[in-house]
Amino acid sequence: MKDFLPICKQDMLDRGWEQLDFVYVSGDAYVDHPSFGHAIITRILESHGYKVGMIIQPDWKDKNSITEYGEPRLGFLVSSGNMDSMVNHYSVSKKKRANDAFTPGGVMGKRPDYATVVYCNLIRQTYKKTPIIIGGIEASLRRMAHYDYWSNKLKRSILLDSGADILSYGMGERSIVEIAEALDGGLAVEDITYIDGTVVKVKSLDSVYDALVLESWDDLKADKLNYAKSFYTQYCNTDPFTSKRLVEPYSEHLYVVQNPPSKPLTQSEMDRVYSLPYMRTYHPSYEALGGVPAIEEVKYSLISNRGCFGGCSFCALTFHQGRIIQTRSHESLIAEAKQFIWDKDFKGYIHDVGGPTANFRGPSCDKQLTKGVCKNRQCLFPTSCKNLKVDHKDYLKLLRKLRELPNVKKVFIRSGIRFDYLIADKDDTFFRELCEHHVSGQLKVAPEHVADPVLQMMGKPDNSVYQAFTKKYKQINEKLGKKQFLVPYLMSSHPGSTMKEAIALAEYLRDLGYMPEQVQDFYPTPSTISTCMYYTGVDPRTMKPVYVPKNPHEKAMQRALIQYRNPKNYDLVMEALKSADRMDLVGFDKHCLIRPRPDKNAVYGKGAGKSTGESKRTQKNTTGSQKRQNVAEKNVPKKKKAIRNVHKKKSK
């Protein structure tokens, strides 16, 4: 019978089970939908015959909250949820967020900071020897020593701080089944050290072979450059075909060992994962609390691919899903769409068909599925590789099929189009149909910046590529007779961005006539090249120094420049322009960002901060209110004379 997995002991008993094989502890609400990691992992285990129950958002202050089912036969599975708990809780300015989309009713505070570590320590208070396997995005990206932005210090592998036995990194479908089979076969958890896609701890390296030894924990703490070297070695070993086993020493009797990543899923394996009996919604017990907000974005969306060969420096996908694209078949996606197009709440709009990058529907080149991705080269950066396969035909066929389904009015693409890949396609058919059928007035793209020095640090193409894309987008829409716009995602304060580059971005927005409603300030999350730059001050790819804006006030100025039209940002923008000696952008000409406040002693113009004389532009452009005031002052004697004449007439 298709149903939710147990969330309490009574549910377990109702199924006739006396003991569970695995208890899954999650920081998210229980949403049985394939967009949620806990749903995929638990359904896969269920399909292999294992009994799994859920403990959802337990009270971390009460050790009894973890004992709902008693001790599981094989072990506990622990995840903070679909997000790193710290990103879930805090904005980049480290302010507490008001809402949690992964909690019933959007209520904040139902999970602890560093949830994976806290949950594991809670389990260990009662179950001293029961195997604990951690996974999910928080564990995956903290699997080795990492910089933690929120505490502003280097932290050990989460495997050590949590007290867990095994860490399953990446998507985890292969490794979780192998772990379960090993435990079910009677193998002691400390002996399960060989599974791809896992990280384990060992007391000796006697049984560890074919491994690269990274800098030790002591060396990492002693010099940030050692961390940069270690990180880049890890970055170059994220491919399942070429990666070496990595060892991070902590002492003479403690080593953390990262096994090579799991092999990518084949298309048939991907199809099977998404054909499991998901309920496709949140548990009904949340209805009275207002449901789980996060379901709204994915309820009528389709995940068509995994992985990304884009290689953006600020993105952790290379560490989590890898660079090899894995796809589902058209039949699988259409079958899933048919499950919801007759839903009573379906309005005719499929919200998304994509993944990390929507228009990637195959490996970037033919050799990847046998020889892996290049270690020291990117597919799209700094320019497109000569071996890059640019082909949108399969994606286009899929979208056409989905558009023809009954009850479907429109198929949107919201998960992002890689514009440099799109512009590299000599066949404009997909570009044209994208504008004609899959854009609703605005297309969101992510140039991130316009200054080439910053784009280079970001791993993004030169600004000229984005400009070519915008030109072509405009041309195609004009031919279609459509008035559609681009909404660029922009990032402030990324490593490499000085005030000069921040002002260049503001000038670009001025010329564009656009001010974004939202701006993403760079967020140093674990396991990205950009975060390594932020912490170490060097680019780990070259070991060359990088300028890093860290001062909160400077970051506020860079952010304010992107939204320079907002009156609330006036003082910050003025300060930024003064500090960069760009007072030529203060005035009344079209090229100016802000106007001066009335001040007869103010000095404006290029180099005004160094000049003692008043600029010609300031002398010429006096405010209207000042002019009126001058005229009024000149007319004062005339007004007094007129008043005297009136009094003389009355006296006569």
DSSP at 289: G
Beta bridge partners of 488: 445
One domain for residues 460 and 421: no
Cβ(106)–Cβ(290) below 8 Å:
yes
Whether residue 586 is contained in a domain is answered as no
Region of 136 on the Ramachandran plot (φ > 0 left; ψ -120 to 50 alpha; else beta): left
DSSP characters for 497-519?
--HHHHHHHHHHHHHHT---S--
Last residue of a domain, one of 196, 223, 241: 196
- The pLDDT, as a whole number, for residue 652 is 37
Task: Extract the runs of DSSP E, i.e. beta strands, from 190-296.
Answer: 198-202, 211-213, 245-251, 254-258, 281-282
54 domain-assigned: yes
Output the DSSP codes for 583-597.
GGGBSSSTT-SBPPP
Q: Cα separation of 60 and 405, whole Å?
A: 47
Burial 267-303, CB ≥16 within 10 A → b, else e: eeebbbbbeeebbbbbbeebeeeebbbbbeebbbbbb
Task: Kindly state the tokens that stand for 475.
Answer: 């041309």
Locus of tokens 């990205």: 528
- Which of 411, 436, 461 marks a domain boundary? 436
Q: Is 645 helix (H, G, I), strand (E, B) or coil?
A: helix
Which region, left, alpha or beta, applies to residue 236 given φ > 0 means left and ψ of -120 to 50 means alpha? alpha
Q: From the centroid of its chain, how far is CA 429?
A: 30
1 is written with which tokens?
Answer: 């019978």
The residue count of the chain comes to: 652
* H-assigned helices in 341-423: 368-371, 393-403, 419-423
* Domain region containing 179: 9-196
Q: Could you report the per-residue pLDDT of 123-162, keeping only the tens digit for each?
A: 999 999 999 999 999 999 999 999 999 999 999 999 999 9
Q: Where do the H-state alpha helices sit in 463-581? A: 463-480, 499-512, 529-536, 552-562, 570-579
Same domain, 377 and 476: no
Taking the CA atoms of 100, 102, 107 and 108 in sequence, report the sign of the dihedral they define.
Answer: negative
Do residues 508 and 456 both lie within one domain?
Answer: yes
Looking at the structure, tell me whether residues 431 and 326 fall in a common domain: yes
Select from 536, 560, 580 the last residue of a domain.
580
Residues 494 and 383 in one domain: no
Residue 46 sits in the same domain as residue 132: yes
Peptide bond into 382 cis (omega under 30): yes
Q: What is the pLDDT of residues 195-230, one digit of tens each?
A: 999 999 999 999 898 999 999 999 999 999 999 999
d(CA 368, CA 389): 11
Put residue 16 in one of left, alpha, beta given phi > 0 → left and psi -120 to 50 → alpha: left
Q: Among candidates 521, 529, 577, which has minimal Cα distance to 549?
A: 521
Number of other CB atoms surrounding residue 645 within 10 Å: 9
Q: What pLDDT does 601 receive? A: 60
Instruction: Assign 3-class secondary structure to 62-75.
Output: CHHHHCCCCCCCCE
Distance CA 502, CA 18 (A): 62
Q: pLDDT below 50 — which residues of the chain?
A: 609-652
Asked if residue 504 and residue 383 are part of one domain, the reply reads no
Nearest-angstrom CA–CA distance, 398 and 248 = 44
| Token pair recorded at residue 260 | 């090579």
Positive/negative CA dihedral, 590, 594, 597, 601: negative
Look at residue 332 and give its three-state secondary structure: helix
Q: Distance (Å, rounded) from C-alpha 179 to C-alpha 290?
A: 37
DSSP one-letter code for 96: B
Q: Are residues 488 and 548 in the same domain?
A: yes
Cβ-in-10-Å burial (0-12, 13-18, 19+) of 204 comes to exposed
In this predicted structure, what is the pLDDT of residue 599? 64
* DSSP sequence for 24-44: EEESS--EESTTSHHHHHHHH
Name the one residue in this structure whose structure tokens are 């203060």.
586
CB neighbours of 168 closer than 8 A, spacing ≥ 6? 133, 134, 135, 139, 140, 175, 176, 179, 197, 198
Number of domains in the chain: 3
Q: Kindly report the CA angle at 299 between 293 and 302, in degrees rounded to 5?
A: 135
Residues 307 and 322 both lie in one domain: yes
Residue 520 lies in a domain: yes
Residue 313 to residue 464: CA distance in whole angstroms: 19
Residues 6+ apart with CB under 8 A from 258: 143, 144, 169, 199, 234, 245, 246, 247, 248
Question: Is 282 a member of any domain?
Answer: no
According to the model, what pLDDT value does residue 1 have?
Answer: 61
> Domain holding 426: CATH number?
3.30.750.210
Angle between helix 173-184 and helix 37-47 axes, rounded to 10 deg: 40
Residues 404 and 469 placed together within one structural domain of the fold:
no
Q: What angle do CA 424, 429, 435 make, to 5 degrees?
A: 95
Residue for token pair 């890890």: 234
SS3 label, residue 180: helix
Q: How many CA atoms lie within 13 A of 155 on its CB side?
A: 22
The CA-atom distances, in angstroms, between 332 and each of 41, 124, 335 are 19, 41, 5
Q: Locate tokens 């952010």: which residue? A: 559
**Residue 105 covered by a domain:** yes
Q: Please indicate, yes or no, if residue 121 is contained in any of the structural domains.
A: yes
- My answer on whether 353 and 456 are in the same domain is no
In a 10 Å sphere around its CB, with 0-12 CB exposed, 13-18 middle and 19+ buried, how is residue 585 labelled? buried
Confirm whether 289 is domain-assigned.
Answer: no
Residue 418 backbone zone (phi > 0: left; psi -120 to 50: alpha; other: beta): beta
Residue 602 lies in a domain: no
165: domain CATH number?
Answer: 3.40.50.2300
CATH number at residue 546: 3.30.750.200
Neighbour tally for 512: CB within 10 Å: 12
Are 495 and 546 in contact by the 8 Å Cβ rule? The answer is yes
Please report the pLDDT score of residue 644 as a whole number: 44
Residues 91 and 160 in one domain: yes
- 């396609």: which residue's tokens? 425
